[in-house]
Copies of this chain bind each other. A is one copy, B any other.
């Protein structure tokens, strides 16, 4: 990700993605975007109608990327339960947090239905996809069939997102790993 973009429009989107990740929508100004992308005022307003329009392009791409990276693991090798574990344990930029999840804390993003939609859809999809994998794991007898797949999936996504929060609070990426370990430890009680 973050391939070095060659054209101005592309650099604007990638710079905005990075800034939204670091500082959120409220904390990101057009001026900063222009400085980081190396594009001038005029270029930005030529390619996009304004801050919100550019943010939409950035958010949409980050959401797509997050989904694609997850799907690559979910549809990859291993049993369903193994793939979920692989996803939870995969290498992450923990202290930077989740580029999509952090937008849920941004009042101006959540207040704008257009900006909000990609965020909402990403998490709806992620929870549904993991629900399906958990159901598969149950069908294969990998995990206890008494677990509610949807609730368990939501809990696992929450551990992931909350893992970023507690790790950032501690300024220690290891705390994220501990949260995941704890969740998988609990899940292990239901393994067959």
Contact = CB atoms under 8 A, between A and B. Distances in A.
Contacts of A80: none
A39 interface: no
Interface string A22-59: 11101100000000000000000000000000000000
Contact of A186 (B97, B168, B187): B187
Nearest to A189: B189
Interface string A132-148: 00000000000010011
A119 interface: yes
A178 interface: yes
Interface in A111-146: 119-120, 122-124, 127, 144
Contacts of A106: 24, 27
The 10 A-B residue pairs with the shortest CB-CB distance, nearest first, are A155-B182, A162-B162, A189-B189, A158-B162, A151-B182, A161-B162, A186-B186, A158-B179, A123-B169, A26-B27
